[in-house]
Structure 1
Protein backbone atom coordinates (compact mmCIF):
# COMPACT_ATOMS: atom_id res chain seq x y z
CA UNK A 1 0.00 0.00 0.00
CA UNK A 2 1.22 3.51 -0.81
CA UNK A 3 0.18 7.10 -0.29
CA UNK A 4 0.31 9.61 -3.16
CA UNK A 5 0.92 13.17 -1.98
CA UNK A 6 0.35 16.24 -4.12
CA UNK A 7 2.40 18.89 -2.39
CA UNK A 8 2.65 22.65 -2.64
CA UNK A 9 4.56 25.15 -0.56
CA UNK A 10 1.49 26.15 1.45
CA UNK A 11 -0.32 29.39 2.19
CA UNK A 12 -2.21 31.00 5.04
CA UNK A 13 -5.05 31.75 2.62
CA UNK A 14 -7.86 29.24 2.32
CA UNK A 15 -8.22 29.67 -1.46
CA UNK A 16 -4.77 28.15 -1.98
CA UNK A 17 -5.59 25.01 -0.01
CA UNK A 18 -8.99 24.68 -1.69
CA UNK A 19 -7.24 24.93 -5.06
CA UNK A 20 -4.75 22.23 -4.05
CA UNK A 21 -7.65 20.01 -3.02
CA UNK A 22 -9.44 20.51 -6.34
CA UNK A 23 -6.32 19.56 -8.28
CA UNK A 24 -5.74 16.50 -6.08
CA UNK A 25 -9.35 15.41 -6.53
CA UNK A 26 -9.14 15.73 -10.30
CA UNK A 27 -5.89 13.81 -10.40
CA UNK A 28 -7.31 11.08 -8.17
CA UNK A 29 -10.06 10.51 -10.74
CA UNK A 30 -7.43 10.19 -13.46
CA UNK A 31 -5.23 7.77 -11.51
CA UNK A 32 -7.93 5.75 -9.82
CA UNK A 33 -6.11 6.22 -6.51
CA UNK A 34 -6.45 8.56 -3.57
CA UNK A 35 -4.26 11.65 -3.91
CA UNK A 36 -3.63 13.49 -0.65
CA UNK A 37 -3.36 17.30 -0.90
CA UNK A 38 -0.54 18.22 1.49
CA UNK A 39 1.24 21.55 1.93
CA UNK A 40 4.79 21.75 3.19
CA UNK A 41 4.03 24.58 5.63
CA UNK A 42 1.65 27.40 6.59
CA UNK A 43 -1.76 25.97 5.68
CA UNK A 44 -2.29 24.38 9.09
CA UNK A 45 -2.85 27.93 10.36
CA UNK A 46 -6.08 28.24 8.34
CA UNK A 47 -9.21 27.86 10.42
CA UNK A 48 -11.03 24.63 9.48
CA UNK A 49 -14.30 26.53 9.03
CA UNK A 50 -12.66 28.27 6.04
CA UNK A 51 -11.91 24.83 4.57
CA UNK A 52 -15.38 23.30 4.72
CA UNK A 53 -14.66 21.98 8.20
CA UNK A 54 -11.56 19.97 7.27
CA UNK A 55 -8.21 21.23 8.51
CA UNK A 56 -5.35 21.33 6.03
CA UNK A 57 -2.57 18.74 6.15
CA UNK A 58 1.07 19.75 6.28
CA UNK A 59 3.97 17.55 5.32
CA UNK A 60 5.71 16.35 8.46
CA UNK A 61 2.57 15.89 10.61
CA UNK A 62 0.86 14.04 7.74
CA UNK A 63 3.76 11.65 7.27
CA UNK A 64 4.09 11.17 11.00
CA UNK A 65 0.43 10.20 11.25
CA UNK A 66 0.57 7.84 8.29
CA UNK A 67 3.78 6.21 9.48
CA UNK A 68 2.17 5.58 12.84
CA UNK A 69 -0.55 3.77 10.87
CA UNK A 70 2.17 1.62 9.31
CA UNK A 71 2.16 3.15 5.82
CA UNK A 72 5.73 2.77 4.57
CA UNK A 73 5.58 3.81 0.88
CA UNK A 74 5.01 7.34 -0.34
CA UNK A 75 4.94 8.98 -3.77
CA UNK A 76 5.38 12.75 -3.86
CA UNK A 77 4.12 14.80 -6.80
CA UNK A 78 5.55 18.33 -6.47
CA UNK A 79 3.24 21.15 -7.50
CA UNK A 80 6.28 23.29 -8.27
CA UNK A 81 7.38 24.63 -11.64
CA UNK A 82 11.10 24.10 -11.04
CA UNK A 83 13.76 22.80 -8.65
CA UNK A 84 12.72 24.62 -5.49
CA UNK A 85 14.78 24.14 -2.36
CA UNK A 86 11.53 23.08 -0.73
CA UNK A 87 11.88 19.84 -2.68
CA UNK A 88 15.66 19.50 -2.81
CA UNK A 89 16.34 20.46 0.83
CA UNK A 90 13.28 20.71 3.06
CA UNK A 91 11.60 17.44 2.08
CA UNK A 92 14.74 15.28 2.53
CA UNK A 93 15.47 17.00 5.85
CA UNK A 94 12.00 16.15 7.15
CA UNK A 95 12.34 12.58 5.89
CA UNK A 96 15.64 12.23 7.74
CA UNK A 97 14.02 13.48 10.93
CA UNK A 98 11.19 10.96 10.58
CA UNK A 99 13.70 8.18 9.91
CA UNK A 100 15.05 8.66 13.39
CA UNK A 101 11.58 8.11 14.85
CA UNK A 102 10.11 5.45 12.57
CA UNK A 103 12.97 3.62 10.91
CA UNK A 104 13.29 2.99 7.16
CA UNK A 105 10.52 3.80 4.69
CA UNK A 106 10.42 4.59 0.98
CA UNK A 107 9.69 7.96 -0.66
CA UNK A 108 9.66 8.46 -4.41
CA UNK A 109 9.73 12.06 -5.64
CA UNK A 110 8.45 12.89 -9.12
CA UNK A 111 9.96 15.56 -11.33
CA UNK A 112 8.82 19.18 -11.20
CA UNK A 113 6.21 20.47 -13.63
CA UNK A 114 8.83 21.92 -15.99
CA UNK A 115 12.06 19.93 -15.56
CA UNK A 116 15.01 21.32 -17.48
CA UNK A 117 16.70 20.92 -19.88
CA UNK A 118 13.84 19.24 -21.74
CA UNK A 119 11.15 21.46 -20.23
CA UNK A 120 7.43 20.80 -20.54
CA UNK A 121 5.71 21.69 -23.85
CA UNK A 122 2.31 21.07 -22.30
CA UNK A 123 2.93 23.93 -19.86
CA UNK A 124 3.71 26.21 -22.80
CA UNK A 125 0.32 25.33 -24.27
CA UNK A 126 -1.40 26.08 -20.96
CA UNK A 127 0.19 29.53 -20.76
CA UNK A 128 -0.59 30.22 -24.41
CA UNK A 129 -4.21 29.33 -23.75
CA UNK A 130 -4.24 31.62 -20.72
CA UNK A 131 -2.88 34.52 -22.81
CA UNK A 132 -5.50 34.07 -25.51
CA UNK A 133 -8.19 33.61 -22.86
CA UNK A 134 -7.33 36.94 -21.22
CA UNK A 135 -7.23 38.68 -24.62
CA UNK A 136 -10.61 37.24 -25.59
CA UNK A 137 -12.20 38.13 -22.25
CA UNK A 138 -11.01 41.73 -22.50
CA UNK A 139 -11.68 41.89 -26.25
CA UNK A 140 -8.18 43.08 -26.97
CA UNK A 141 -5.32 41.88 -29.13
CA UNK A 142 -2.35 40.45 -27.20
CA UNK A 143 0.12 43.06 -28.47
CA UNK A 144 2.05 43.25 -25.19
CA UNK A 145 2.45 40.26 -22.89
CA UNK A 146 4.48 40.01 -19.69
CA UNK A 147 5.30 36.60 -18.21
CA UNK A 148 5.63 37.00 -14.45
CA UNK A 149 6.67 34.57 -11.73
CA UNK A 150 7.21 34.92 -8.00
CA UNK A 151 11.00 35.13 -8.05
CA UNK A 152 13.61 32.83 -6.55
CA UNK A 153 17.16 33.03 -5.20
CA UNK A 154 17.92 29.92 -7.28
CA UNK A 155 19.05 30.55 -10.90
CA UNK A 156 17.69 27.17 -12.04
CA UNK A 157 14.18 28.21 -10.98
CA UNK A 158 14.41 31.49 -12.92
CA UNK A 159 15.64 29.52 -15.92
CA UNK A 160 12.28 27.73 -16.00
CA UNK A 161 10.57 31.08 -16.65
CA UNK A 162 13.15 31.94 -19.29
CA UNK A 163 12.66 28.58 -21.02
CA UNK A 164 8.90 29.12 -21.08
CA UNK A 165 9.29 32.70 -22.34
CA UNK A 166 11.40 31.54 -25.28
CA UNK A 167 8.86 28.89 -26.26
CA UNK A 168 5.93 31.27 -25.83
CA UNK A 169 7.65 33.87 -28.00
CA UNK A 170 8.06 31.30 -30.76
CA UNK A 171 4.44 30.17 -30.45
CA UNK A 172 3.06 33.71 -30.49
CA UNK A 173 5.13 34.50 -33.58
CA UNK A 174 3.16 31.80 -35.42
CA UNK A 175 -0.14 33.62 -34.82
CA UNK A 176 -1.24 35.72 -37.83
CA UNK A 177 -1.45 39.45 -37.22
CA UNK A 178 0.70 42.11 -35.59
CA UNK A 179 3.83 41.00 -33.77
CA UNK A 180 3.36 40.19 -30.10
CA UNK A 181 5.92 41.67 -27.73
CA UNK A 182 6.58 39.26 -24.87
CA UNK A 183 8.67 40.27 -21.88
CA UNK A 184 9.49 38.83 -18.47
CA UNK A 185 9.26 40.11 -14.92
CA UNK A 186 9.59 38.91 -11.36
CA UNK A 187 7.14 39.80 -8.61
CA UNK A 188 9.85 40.11 -5.99
CA UNK A 189 13.57 39.44 -5.69
CA UNK A 190 16.42 39.85 -3.26
CA UNK A 191 18.53 42.98 -3.53
CA UNK A 192 22.09 42.81 -4.78
CA UNK A 193 23.79 42.24 -8.10
CA UNK A 194 24.14 38.54 -7.34
CA UNK A 195 20.37 38.22 -7.82
CA UNK A 196 20.19 40.12 -11.11
CA UNK A 197 19.53 36.80 -12.86
CA UNK A 198 15.93 37.17 -11.64
CA UNK A 199 15.38 39.98 -14.10
CA UNK A 200 13.35 43.15 -13.71
CA UNK A 201 10.77 43.68 -10.99
CA UNK A 202 7.15 43.58 -12.14
CA UNK A 203 6.39 47.08 -10.87
CA UNK A 204 9.42 48.57 -12.63
CA UNK A 205 8.63 46.78 -15.88
CA UNK A 206 4.99 47.86 -15.84
CA UNK A 207 5.95 51.47 -15.18
CA UNK A 208 8.36 51.38 -18.11
CA UNK A 209 5.68 49.94 -20.39
CA UNK A 210 3.19 52.59 -19.26
CA UNK A 211 5.68 55.38 -19.90
CA UNK A 212 6.43 53.94 -23.33
CA UNK A 213 2.78 53.59 -24.40
CA UNK A 214 -0.08 54.27 -22.02
CA UNK A 215 -2.82 53.31 -24.47
CA UNK A 216 -1.78 49.72 -25.29
CA UNK A 217 -2.81 47.31 -22.52
CA UNK A 218 -0.59 44.59 -21.11
CA UNK A 219 -1.65 40.99 -20.59
CA UNK A 220 0.05 39.62 -17.50
CA UNK A 221 0.70 35.93 -18.08
CA UNK A 222 0.65 34.53 -14.55
CA UNK A 223 3.21 31.80 -13.88
CA UNK A 224 1.47 30.97 -10.61
CA UNK A 225 -0.42 27.84 -9.68
CA UNK A 226 -2.94 28.84 -7.03
CA UNK A 227 -4.49 31.97 -5.53
CA UNK A 228 -2.82 33.12 -2.34
CA UNK A 229 -1.08 36.13 -0.84
CA UNK A 230 0.66 36.92 -4.14
CA UNK A 231 -1.62 35.85 -6.99
CA UNK A 232 -5.01 35.78 -5.26
CA UNK A 233 -7.72 38.45 -5.14
CA UNK A 234 -6.37 41.52 -3.38
CA UNK A 235 -2.90 40.00 -3.37
CA UNK A 236 0.49 41.56 -4.05
CA UNK A 237 0.19 41.44 -7.84
CA UNK A 238 -3.25 43.04 -7.80
CA UNK A 239 -1.86 45.86 -5.65
CA UNK A 240 1.18 46.35 -7.91
CA UNK A 241 -0.99 46.57 -11.03
CA UNK A 242 -3.45 48.97 -9.36
CA UNK A 243 -0.63 51.23 -8.19
CA UNK A 244 0.82 51.53 -11.69
CA UNK A 245 -2.61 52.12 -13.23
CA UNK A 246 -3.34 54.91 -10.71
CA UNK A 247 -0.10 56.65 -11.58
CA UNK A 248 -0.67 56.26 -15.34
CA UNK A 249 -4.31 57.07 -16.15
CA UNK A 250 -5.54 55.08 -19.12
CA UNK A 251 -2.98 52.29 -18.69
CA UNK A 252 -4.47 48.84 -18.12
CA UNK A 253 -2.99 45.53 -16.99
CA UNK A 254 -5.03 42.34 -17.44
CA UNK A 255 -3.77 39.32 -15.45
CA UNK A 256 -4.45 35.91 -16.95
CA UNK A 257 -6.09 33.05 -15.10
CA UNK A 258 -3.72 30.89 -13.06
CA UNK A 259 -2.11 27.65 -14.19
CA UNK A 260 -3.64 25.58 -11.39
CA UNK A 261 -7.17 25.95 -12.72
CA UNK A 262 -6.33 24.72 -16.22
CA UNK A 263 -7.52 21.17 -16.97
CA UNK A 264 -4.35 20.31 -18.89
CA UNK A 265 -2.32 20.63 -15.69
CA UNK A 266 -3.75 17.22 -14.80
CA UNK A 267 -2.15 15.81 -17.97
CA UNK A 268 1.27 16.90 -16.72
CA UNK A 269 0.68 15.51 -13.23
CA UNK A 270 -0.62 12.23 -14.63
CA UNK A 271 2.55 11.94 -16.69
CA UNK A 272 4.71 12.66 -13.65
CA UNK A 273 2.90 9.95 -11.71
CA UNK A 274 3.53 7.51 -14.57
CA UNK A 275 7.24 8.37 -14.52
CA UNK A 276 7.74 6.99 -11.03
CA UNK A 277 9.94 4.11 -12.16
CA UNK A 278 12.38 6.69 -13.53
CA UNK A 279 11.88 9.31 -10.82
CA UNK A 280 14.51 10.13 -8.24
CA UNK A 281 14.24 7.98 -5.13
CA UNK A 282 14.92 9.14 -1.62
CA UNK A 283 15.30 6.14 0.65
CA UNK A 284 15.62 6.26 4.35
CA UNK A 285 17.48 2.97 4.31
CA UNK A 286 21.26 2.89 4.55
CA UNK A 287 23.07 2.38 1.23
Structure 2
Protein backbone atom coordinates (compact mmCIF):
# COMPACT_ATOMS: atom_id res chain seq x y z
CA UNK A 1 0.00 0.00 0.00
CA UNK A 2 1.51 3.39 -0.99
CA UNK A 3 2.05 5.97 1.72
CA UNK A 4 -0.43 8.84 1.86
CA UNK A 5 0.44 12.51 1.96
CA UNK A 6 1.78 12.81 5.54
CA UNK A 7 1.12 16.03 7.44
CA UNK A 8 2.81 16.86 10.74
CA UNK A 9 0.22 19.17 12.28
CA UNK A 10 0.39 21.56 15.22
CA UNK A 11 -2.14 24.09 16.46
CA UNK A 12 -0.27 27.03 14.97
CA UNK A 13 1.11 30.27 16.35
CA UNK A 14 1.68 33.84 15.21
CA UNK A 15 5.29 33.53 16.34
CA UNK A 16 7.84 32.58 13.71
CA UNK A 17 9.80 30.36 16.13
CA UNK A 18 6.85 27.98 16.36
CA UNK A 19 6.64 27.44 12.60
CA UNK A 20 10.40 27.12 12.26
CA UNK A 21 10.36 24.50 15.03
CA UNK A 22 7.55 22.61 13.27
CA UNK A 23 9.55 22.58 10.06
CA UNK A 24 12.67 21.34 11.83
CA UNK A 25 10.70 18.56 13.49
CA UNK A 26 9.10 17.57 10.17
CA UNK A 27 12.58 17.35 8.63
CA UNK A 28 13.76 15.07 11.43
CA UNK A 29 10.64 12.91 11.13
CA UNK A 30 11.00 12.69 7.36
CA UNK A 31 14.60 11.53 7.71
CA UNK A 32 13.47 8.66 9.92
CA UNK A 33 10.30 7.82 8.03
CA UNK A 34 11.92 7.86 4.58
CA UNK A 35 8.72 9.45 3.27
CA UNK A 36 7.90 13.12 2.72
CA UNK A 37 6.41 14.88 5.76
CA UNK A 38 4.72 18.25 5.33
CA UNK A 39 4.68 20.75 8.25
CA UNK A 40 1.18 22.25 8.47
CA UNK A 41 -0.57 24.25 11.21
CA UNK A 42 -4.28 24.30 11.91
CA UNK A 43 -4.51 28.08 12.18
CA UNK A 44 -2.68 31.34 12.96
CA UNK A 45 0.72 30.76 11.33
CA UNK A 46 -0.32 32.19 7.96
CA UNK A 47 -0.28 35.60 9.67
CA UNK A 48 3.52 35.43 10.09
CA UNK A 49 5.35 37.64 7.57
CA UNK A 50 7.19 35.33 5.15
CA UNK A 51 10.48 37.21 5.61
CA UNK A 52 10.51 35.84 9.18
CA UNK A 53 10.23 32.30 7.75
CA UNK A 54 13.09 32.31 5.26
CA UNK A 55 10.66 33.68 2.65
CA UNK A 56 8.59 30.49 2.79
CA UNK A 57 5.03 31.29 3.93
CA UNK A 58 3.57 29.04 6.60
CA UNK A 59 0.86 26.59 5.57
CA UNK A 60 -2.46 26.12 7.34
CA UNK A 61 -4.65 23.08 7.07
CA UNK A 62 -7.73 24.04 5.06
CA UNK A 63 -5.93 25.94 2.26
CA UNK A 64 -3.21 23.29 2.10
CA UNK A 65 -5.70 20.44 1.76
CA UNK A 66 -7.66 22.35 -0.86
CA UNK A 67 -4.56 22.90 -2.99
CA UNK A 68 -3.59 19.24 -2.70
CA UNK A 69 -7.08 18.08 -3.61
CA UNK A 70 -7.13 20.37 -6.62
CA UNK A 71 -3.85 18.81 -7.76
CA UNK A 72 -5.32 15.30 -7.51
CA UNK A 73 -4.08 14.08 -4.10
CA UNK A 74 -6.74 11.95 -2.39
CA UNK A 75 -5.06 10.25 0.60
CA UNK A 76 -3.89 12.12 3.71
CA UNK A 77 -2.51 11.09 7.07
CA UNK A 78 -2.35 13.68 9.85
CA UNK A 79 0.26 13.06 12.53
CA UNK A 80 -0.83 15.39 15.35
CA UNK A 81 1.52 17.30 17.62
CA UNK A 82 -1.07 17.26 20.38
CA UNK A 83 -0.70 15.56 23.75
CA UNK A 84 -4.34 14.49 24.04
CA UNK A 85 -7.68 14.34 22.26
CA UNK A 86 -8.32 18.06 22.02
CA UNK A 87 -11.12 19.64 20.03
CA UNK A 88 -8.58 20.23 17.28
CA UNK A 89 -8.60 16.47 16.67
CA UNK A 90 -12.19 15.64 17.56
CA UNK A 91 -13.93 18.65 15.97
CA UNK A 92 -11.81 21.08 13.96
CA UNK A 93 -10.09 18.62 11.62
CA UNK A 94 -13.24 16.50 10.97
CA UNK A 95 -15.24 19.69 10.32
CA UNK A 96 -12.55 20.95 7.93
CA UNK A 97 -12.66 17.64 6.06
CA UNK A 98 -16.47 17.71 5.92
CA UNK A 99 -16.44 21.21 4.42
CA UNK A 100 -13.93 20.15 1.77
CA UNK A 101 -16.01 17.10 0.87
CA UNK A 102 -18.71 19.44 -0.40
CA UNK A 103 -16.31 20.24 -3.24
CA UNK A 104 -14.16 17.09 -3.26
CA UNK A 105 -16.24 14.07 -2.32
CA UNK A 106 -13.68 11.35 -2.91
CA UNK A 107 -10.73 11.58 -0.55
CA UNK A 108 -9.40 9.88 2.54
CA UNK A 109 -8.15 11.68 5.63
CA UNK A 110 -6.95 9.84 8.71
CA UNK A 111 -5.72 11.15 12.04
CA UNK A 112 -3.02 9.24 13.91
CA UNK A 113 -3.38 8.97 17.71
CA UNK A 114 -2.18 11.87 19.86
CA UNK A 115 1.15 11.78 21.64
CA UNK A 116 -0.30 10.45 24.91
CA UNK A 117 -3.42 8.38 24.19
CA UNK A 118 -5.24 7.52 27.38
CA UNK A 119 -5.75 5.33 29.30
CA UNK A 120 -2.50 3.58 28.34
CA UNK A 121 -0.48 6.80 28.18
CA UNK A 122 3.02 7.10 26.74
CA UNK A 123 5.96 6.26 29.04
CA UNK A 124 8.48 7.80 26.63
CA UNK A 125 7.01 11.23 27.33
CA UNK A 126 7.87 10.65 30.99
CA UNK A 127 11.42 9.78 29.95
CA UNK A 128 11.63 13.06 28.05
CA UNK A 129 10.47 15.01 31.11
CA UNK A 130 12.93 13.17 33.38
CA UNK A 131 15.84 13.79 31.00
CA UNK A 132 14.90 17.45 30.62
CA UNK A 133 14.69 17.89 34.38
CA UNK A 134 18.16 16.37 34.65
CA UNK A 135 19.39 19.30 32.56
CA UNK A 136 17.88 21.63 35.16
CA UNK A 137 20.07 19.96 37.78
CA UNK A 138 23.15 20.59 35.65
CA UNK A 139 22.34 24.30 35.50
CA UNK A 140 22.04 24.70 39.27
CA UNK A 141 24.28 24.43 42.29
CA UNK A 142 21.86 21.96 43.86
CA UNK A 143 18.97 19.76 42.76
CA UNK A 144 15.46 21.26 42.76
CA UNK A 145 13.38 20.53 45.83
CA UNK A 146 10.08 20.90 43.99
CA UNK A 147 8.91 20.52 40.39
CA UNK A 148 6.07 22.39 38.71
CA UNK A 149 4.70 20.48 35.72
CA UNK A 150 3.06 23.09 33.50
CA UNK A 151 0.99 22.78 30.35
CA UNK A 152 -1.04 25.21 28.28
CA UNK A 153 -4.30 24.53 30.11
CA UNK A 154 -7.56 23.40 28.55
CA UNK A 155 -11.30 23.74 29.16
CA UNK A 156 -11.57 20.02 28.35
CA UNK A 157 -10.95 17.64 31.24
CA UNK A 158 -9.75 14.78 29.01
CA UNK A 159 -6.92 16.99 27.74
CA UNK A 160 -5.82 17.96 31.25
CA UNK A 161 -6.00 14.25 32.10
CA UNK A 162 -2.83 13.79 30.04
CA UNK A 163 -0.93 16.13 32.36
CA UNK A 164 -2.44 14.28 35.34
CA UNK A 165 -1.19 10.97 33.94
CA UNK A 166 2.29 12.37 33.28
CA UNK A 167 2.42 13.87 36.77
CA UNK A 168 1.64 10.53 38.42
CA UNK A 169 4.41 8.82 36.51
CA UNK A 170 6.82 11.67 37.19
CA UNK A 171 6.17 11.52 40.93
CA UNK A 172 7.26 7.88 40.91
CA UNK A 173 10.45 8.75 39.06
CA UNK A 174 11.35 11.75 41.22
CA UNK A 175 10.94 9.93 44.54
CA UNK A 176 9.81 11.15 47.94
CA UNK A 177 12.39 13.91 48.32
CA UNK A 178 11.04 16.04 45.46
CA UNK A 179 7.53 17.48 45.54
CA UNK A 180 5.43 18.06 42.44
CA UNK A 181 2.69 20.56 41.63
CA UNK A 182 0.66 20.64 38.43
CA UNK A 183 -0.12 24.03 36.94
CA UNK A 184 -1.50 25.61 33.79
CA UNK A 185 -0.70 28.73 31.82
CA UNK A 186 -4.36 29.34 31.04
CA UNK A 187 -7.63 28.37 32.67
CA UNK A 188 -11.16 29.67 32.65
CA UNK A 189 -12.69 31.13 35.82
CA UNK A 190 -15.19 29.05 37.76
CA UNK A 191 -15.10 25.95 39.89
CA UNK A 192 -16.10 23.81 36.93
CA UNK A 193 -12.57 24.37 35.57
CA UNK A 194 -10.75 23.53 38.79
CA UNK A 195 -9.50 20.33 37.13
CA UNK A 196 -6.89 22.58 35.46
CA UNK A 197 -5.26 23.27 38.81
CA UNK A 198 -3.67 26.64 39.63
CA UNK A 199 -2.10 29.04 37.18
CA UNK A 200 1.69 28.72 37.13
CA UNK A 201 2.14 32.30 38.34
CA UNK A 202 -0.07 31.67 41.39
CA UNK A 203 1.51 28.29 42.18
CA UNK A 204 5.06 29.68 42.05
CA UNK A 205 4.17 32.75 44.11
CA UNK A 206 2.53 30.62 46.81
CA UNK A 207 5.56 28.33 47.00
CA UNK A 208 7.98 31.25 47.10
CA UNK A 209 6.16 32.83 50.03
CA UNK A 210 6.22 29.53 51.94
CA UNK A 211 9.78 28.54 50.94
CA UNK A 212 11.68 31.78 50.18
CA UNK A 213 15.09 30.06 49.83
CA UNK A 214 13.93 27.12 47.73
CA UNK A 215 15.29 25.95 44.40
CA UNK A 216 12.54 24.67 42.10
CA UNK A 217 12.24 23.52 38.50
CA UNK A 218 9.51 24.09 35.93
CA UNK A 219 8.96 20.99 33.79
CA UNK A 220 7.74 22.30 30.46
CA UNK A 221 4.97 20.19 28.95
CA UNK A 222 5.34 22.18 25.76
CA UNK A 223 6.68 20.97 22.47
CA UNK A 224 7.92 24.19 20.92
CA UNK A 225 8.29 27.92 21.40
CA UNK A 226 5.22 30.09 21.21
CA UNK A 227 3.33 32.64 23.25
CA UNK A 228 3.87 30.71 26.50
CA UNK A 229 7.02 28.67 25.88
CA UNK A 230 10.44 29.60 24.57
CA UNK A 231 13.02 32.27 25.46
CA UNK A 232 10.55 35.16 25.03
CA UNK A 233 7.47 33.35 26.27
CA UNK A 234 5.19 34.01 29.21
CA UNK A 235 6.73 31.22 31.31
CA UNK A 236 10.13 32.92 31.31
CA UNK A 237 8.54 36.28 32.14
CA UNK A 238 6.59 34.79 35.07
CA UNK A 239 9.63 33.00 36.48
CA UNK A 240 11.87 36.05 36.25
CA UNK A 241 9.20 38.19 37.92
CA UNK A 242 8.86 35.71 40.79
CA UNK A 243 12.63 35.61 41.28
CA UNK A 244 12.79 39.40 41.29
CA UNK A 245 10.11 39.62 43.98
CA UNK A 246 11.68 36.78 46.01
CA UNK A 247 15.47 37.19 45.68
CA UNK A 248 16.33 33.95 47.50
CA UNK A 249 13.98 31.87 45.37
CA UNK A 250 15.53 30.15 42.33
CA UNK A 251 13.75 28.65 39.31
CA UNK A 252 15.20 26.46 36.55
CA UNK A 253 13.26 25.75 33.33
CA UNK A 254 13.49 22.45 31.50
CA UNK A 255 14.04 22.37 27.72
CA UNK A 256 11.09 22.08 25.36
CA UNK A 257 10.05 18.53 24.55
CA UNK A 258 10.41 18.63 20.77
CA UNK A 259 14.21 18.75 21.00
CA UNK A 260 14.39 15.28 22.58
CA UNK A 261 15.12 12.37 20.19
CA UNK A 262 12.46 10.16 21.79
CA UNK A 263 9.73 12.41 20.39
CA UNK A 264 10.61 11.26 16.86
CA UNK A 265 10.33 7.63 18.02
CA UNK A 266 6.83 8.35 19.32
CA UNK A 267 5.77 10.10 16.11
CA UNK A 268 7.12 7.26 13.97
CA UNK A 269 5.09 4.76 15.98
CA UNK A 270 1.92 6.86 15.67
CA UNK A 271 2.41 7.30 11.95
CA UNK A 272 3.13 3.66 11.16
CA UNK A 273 0.37 2.28 13.39
CA UNK A 274 -2.23 4.44 11.69
CA UNK A 275 -0.97 3.61 8.20
CA UNK A 276 -0.97 -0.09 9.07
CA UNK A 277 -4.49 -0.04 10.54
CA UNK A 278 -5.90 2.01 7.69
CA UNK A 279 -8.95 3.34 9.53
CA UNK A 280 -10.75 6.48 8.41
CA UNK A 281 -10.88 9.11 11.13
CA UNK A 282 -12.28 12.22 9.48
Residue 24 of structure 1, aligned match among 26, 29, 38: 26
Q: Scaled by the length of structure 2, what TM-score is found? A: 0.96
Q: Scaled by the length of structure 1, what TM-score is found? A: 0.94
1:132–1:142 Cα contact (<8 Å) kept: no
Q: 1:221 to 1:10 in 2, by over 3 A?
A: same
Residue 212 of structure 1, aligned match among 202, 210, 213: 210
* Secondary structure in structure 2 of the residue aligned to 1:253: strand
1:145–1:180 Cα contact (<8 Å) kept: yes
Give the corresponding residue for 2:269.
271
* Secondary structure in structure 2 of the residue aligned to 1:145: strand
Give the corresponding residue for 1:222.
220
* Secondary structure in structure 2 of the residue aligned to 1:148: strand
Name stretches of at least 5 consecutive residues in structure 1 with no aligned partner: none
Give the corresponding residue for 2:159.
157
Shift of 1:282: 2.6
2:26–2:37 Cα contact (<8 Å) kept: yes
1:110–1:279 Cα contact (<8 Å) kept: no
1:111–1:279 Cα contact (<8 Å) kept: no
Give the corresponding residue for 2:172.
170
2:139–2:252 Cα contact (<8 Å) kept: no
After superposition, give the CA deviation of every residue in 1:121-146 in whole Å (9 maximum; x if it has no partner): 00000000001111112242132111
1:131–1:142 Cα contact (<8 Å) kept: no
Shift of 1:222: 0.2
Q: 1:264 to 1:156 in 2, by over 3 A?
A: same
* Secondary structure in structure 2 of the residue aligned to 1:275: helix
Shift of 1:280: 5.0
Shift of 1:203: 0.9
Residue 70 of structure 2, aligned match among 68, 77, 93: 68
Calculate the aligned-residue CA RMSD, in Å.
Answer: 1.2
1:110–1:280 Cα contact (<8 Å) kept: no
Name stretches of at least 5 consecutive residues in structure 2 with no aligned partner: none
Q: State how far apart, in whole Å, the 1-side matches of 2:84 and 2:186 are.
A: 17
Q: State how far apart, in whole Å, the 2-side matches of 1:254 and 1:229 are.
A: 19
Give the corresponding residue for 2:85.
83
